[in-house]
Structure formats: structure tokens, C-alpha cells
């Protein structure tokens, strides 16, 4: 049953001791009856909501163990070779972040508590959340266990505005799971995702029609979804530090420096994104990787790790029926620098032994290692047919290369 919402200043009271924060003051209308904004009914403007759970893994752990509430918490393993999978907001105040080595995290926060991940619990909670989404739209594009795009242009629930829709979804998530979510509401996916970060945790933000370009120009370039650390560093070397800086660059300039991505950067600097919310995302790769207990130089343990990862990937191929032509081996050196070696075959890999042999050939191409190797991974890509990534196939919400990471060395969420 949908909880009753009562406006209380800038907060929405659900129960005496449980509140759902809202800092949004503008509405995003379903029809022209809302005076100040453009009609959503017949002019082609979409209503996109990006829902993002707040510190999802860590929040689940704090929910289930009251003794962890209010304390700096990391989901992962505190061993010397461990990696932080997720950090609570209390831990983030110390600078602890996902994908950070456990030793670094403990140096930043000596009181940091590590708890092992419980992926089956996270998956179960995610299913509860996605069941709520399905009451509002069939157009749900899950990005991971804890975030998704929803196209709610069709007003299935008869709510006055998209803002109200996001508020009701978040209220139902809190009522059902005892967990908070943040939301971004806008007319395209890029803006909605940016907006969901504006009022985290436990808030929401609207970028209405006509305001996207100005909103984007006010942000640092590192906030842009799709601009990673390497691209951010390159942009800053070129004098591009903000959305406004990016907006000043010509399409020719961006294509010269960033190739095919130049057109994308040109568009998003203007708040433009025409991608549809796609319930049937196509998987581009599947991989598995493991972190060794110690750095290795000798071939035997390195190759044993590669073969184990190849076997993991082939098990997934057998389960899904997927076949692919490109084999990639990933290496992380002792200094945390990464390298990859790839080979594309004329025909898809047809059996486990072929994948094993190709993976061994690729890892042997780096011998003798320039440094000790701390991590190896195997990935298959370039599938012979589209592999649709549906909600139940999201794995652990990790980056494709991390989907089947060995549980003892947890990788970071995407």
C-alpha cells in the first residue's frame, strides 16, 4: 500500500520517526495544467527519473545490524589485499571510497569497520525495489542492483507531476525496505543522472525543460557521467574544467581530441541526450577477475589464476548460451597500473579449452613480467548475437570486468 505523504516544510513525514527528505521546489508536469512548465502530454518531451539508492550495500548492513548505525563502515574485506566494495556515509567523511584498497581505507579511518558482502541479500532487496518501479512504468533500464532509469512519460498512476512520481516511489522504497533513495528528474537520461547526485542522500532534484543547458554549464567536468578520470585529466590539460568550458569548444575541436566521443561531449555540454530508456540493455562483455594473496612473478600461480578466471567465464557462457570472438586478459601490476592484451578470432570461441589456451597465450605475452602481478582477469566480448541484459541478470551490479569477481576480493560497483 502506498504510504500517505504529508508536506512538512521541506520534508515529507512518513511516520513519526521516519522521514523522506525532499529539497525540490519546482514541479515537472504531466500536463499543461501546471502553469510554469512545458506540457509533457503531447509535445514529445520525455519524463525521465533516475533512482539511485543511498550507499546501498553499506545501508543494508546498517539496517540489518543496528550496532553499525552511525559508525564508519565498509563492505568488503579488511585483509591486506582486500578492496572496499562500498562505504557508508560516515566512512566517506574520512575519504573512504569504493574501489579503495583496504589498507588505504584503514589508514584514512582507523576505526573503519569491515563487514563481508552478502550479495544474495542485496539482490533480494533490489528485486523489491524493481517491483515498485514496475507499478509506474514498463520502461525501466536497470544500471546495477541499486540504480535505474525510469521513463514515466505515460502517466500510469495519475499523479500530477513527475516530481510527485519520484516522491511516491522513494516513499514506497523507504516503507518497503527501510532504505532511502535519491532521485533526479529531467527530460533526458544524462540530466536525470546528474540531478540524482544533487541532493544525496535522501533527496531529489529536478532539471526542468529549458534549464538543462544552464545546469550543465555550472558543473565541474568530473561530475559528467561518462567522463572518467583519464578523460577528465585530458580535458583539464586542454583547459576544460567545467561544463561552461566544454560548451565553448567547437565540435571540430572535440572530435579532433576525443574522436567519436567528441560529438557526445558536444551534445551533453548543451544538455542534449536522445538515448531512450531501454529495458533490454545489450551486454557487451562478460568477465571475471581475481586478486592474488601476494604479487606474483613466476608463471605457475599467474597462469593458475588466469585459467580459473577463464573457467568462470566459460561457465557463464554455458549457462547463457553466449559465444564471443574477442578474448581479453587484464593485468594489474604491483604498482596498481593496469594493462590488457586482446585477441579477436575469426569465429566465436566454441569450447572451454580454446578459451583457456587463448587466455594463456595472452598472459604469456607479458613474460617476463616487468613487476609482480597482483590481479588477473579474463573477459569475452564481441558476441556473435546480442545478449540482452535483463533485470535478473545484473549480477552484482559491478562493472562488466568485475561481474564474477571472487568473493574474497570484492571489486567496486559500477
If we measure between CA atoms, which residue out of 400, 404, 398 comes closest to residue 85?
398
Q: What are phi and psi of 290, to 5 degrees?
A: -145, 145
Q: What are phi and psi of 273, to 5 degrees?
A: -160, 110
CA atoms within 13 A on the CB side of 278: 10
Q: In which element (H, E) is residue 177 found?
A: helix 162-177
Cell triple for 339? 594493462
Task: Name the DSSP class of 224.
Answer: S
Cβ count within 10 A of residue 274:
9
If we measure between CA atoms, which residue out of 3, 30, 33, 32 comes closest to residue 19?
3
If we measure between CA atoms, which residue out of 81, 79, 61 comes closest to residue 71?
61
Q: What are phi and psi of 51, to 5 degrees?
A: -100, 130
Task: Name the DSSP class of 234.
Answer: H
Strand partners, 200: none
Active site residue 392: no
d(CA 301, CA 305) in angstroms, rounded, equals 6
Cell triple for 64? 540489518
Triad 186, 54, 405: Cα angle to 5°:
110
Cell triple for 238? 586542454
Catalytic residue among 147, 289, 303, 358: 147
Cell triple for 29? 508536469
d(CA 300, CA 303) in angstroms, rounded, equals 5
Q: What are phi and psi of 84, to 5 degrees?
A: -75, 125
Cell triple for 245? 568550458
Triad 287, 84, 107: Cα angle to 5°:
145
Longest C-alpha distance within the chain, in Å? 71
**Residues labelled catalytic:** 147
Amino acid at each position: 500500500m502506498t504510504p500517505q505523504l504529508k508536506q512538512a516544510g521541506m520534508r515529507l513525514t512518513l511516520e513519526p520517526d521516519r522521514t523522506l527528505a525532499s529539497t525540490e521546489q519546482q514541479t515537472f508536469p504531466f500536463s499543461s495544467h501546471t502553469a510554469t512548465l512545458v506540457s509533457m502530454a503531447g509535445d514529445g518531451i520525455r519524463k525521465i527519473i533516475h533512482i539511485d539508492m543511498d550507499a546501498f550495500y553499506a545501508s543494508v548492513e546498517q539496517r540489518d545490524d543496528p550496532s553499525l548505525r552511525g559508525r564508519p563502515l565498509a563492505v568488503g574485506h579488511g585483509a591486506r589485499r582486500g578492496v572496499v566494495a562500498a562505504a557508508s556515509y560516515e566512512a566517506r567523511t574520512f575519504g573512504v571510497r569504493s574501489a579503495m584498497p583496504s589498507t588505504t581505507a584503514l589508514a584514512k579511518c582507523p576505526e573503519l569497520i569491515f563487514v563481508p558482502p552478502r550479495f544474495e541479500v542485496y539482490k533480494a532487496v533490489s528485486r523489491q525495489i524493481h517491483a515498485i518501479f514496475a507499478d509506474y512504468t514498463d520502461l525501466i533500464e536497470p544500471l546495477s542492483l541499486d540504480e535505474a532509469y525510469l521513463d514515466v512519460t505515460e502517466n500510469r498512476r495519475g499523479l500530477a507531476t513527475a516530481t510527485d512520481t519520484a516522491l511516491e516511489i522513494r516513499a514506497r522504497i523507504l516503507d518497503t525496505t527501510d532504505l532511502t533513495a535519491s532521485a533526479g528528474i529531467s527530460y533526458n537520461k544524462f540530466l536525470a543522472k546528474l540531478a540524482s547526485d544533487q541532493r544525496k542522500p535522501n533527496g531529489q532534484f529536478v532539471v526542468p525543460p529549458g534549464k538543462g543547458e544552464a545546469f550543465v554549464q555550472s558543473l565541474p567536468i568530473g561530475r559528467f557521467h561518462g567522463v572518467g578520470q583519464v578523460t577528465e585529466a585530458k580535458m583539464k590539460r586542454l583547459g576544460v574544467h567545467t561544463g561552461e568550458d566544454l560548451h565553448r569548444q567547437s565540435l571540430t575541436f572535440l572530435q579532433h581530441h576525443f574522436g567519436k566521443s567528441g560529438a557526445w561531449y558536444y551534445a551533453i555540454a548543451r544538455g542534449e541526450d536522445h538515448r531512450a530508456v531501454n529495458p533490454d540493455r545489450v551486454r557487451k562483455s562478460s568477465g571475471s577477475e581475481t586478486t592474488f594473496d601476494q604479487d606474483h612473478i613466476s608463471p605457475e600461480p599467474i597462469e593458475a589464476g588466469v585459467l580459473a578466471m577463464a573457467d568462470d567465464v566459460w561457465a557463464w557462457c554455458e549457462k547463457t548460451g553466449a559465444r564471443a570472438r574477442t578474448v581479453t586478459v587484464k593485468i594489474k601490476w604491483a604498482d596498481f597500473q593496469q594493462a590488457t592484451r586482446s585477441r579477436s578470432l575469426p569465429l566465436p570461441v566454441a569450447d572451454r579449452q580454446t578459451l583457456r589456451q587463448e587466455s594463456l597465450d595472452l598472459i604469456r605475452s607479458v613474460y617476463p613480467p616487468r613487476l609482480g602481478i597482483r590481479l588477473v582477469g579474463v573477459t569475452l566480448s564481441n558476441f556473435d548475437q546480442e545478449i540482452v541484459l535483463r533485470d535478473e541478470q545484473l549480477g552484482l551490479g559491478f562493472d562488466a570486468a568485475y561481474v564474477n569477481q571472487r568473493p574474497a576480493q570484492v571489486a567496486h560497483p559500477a
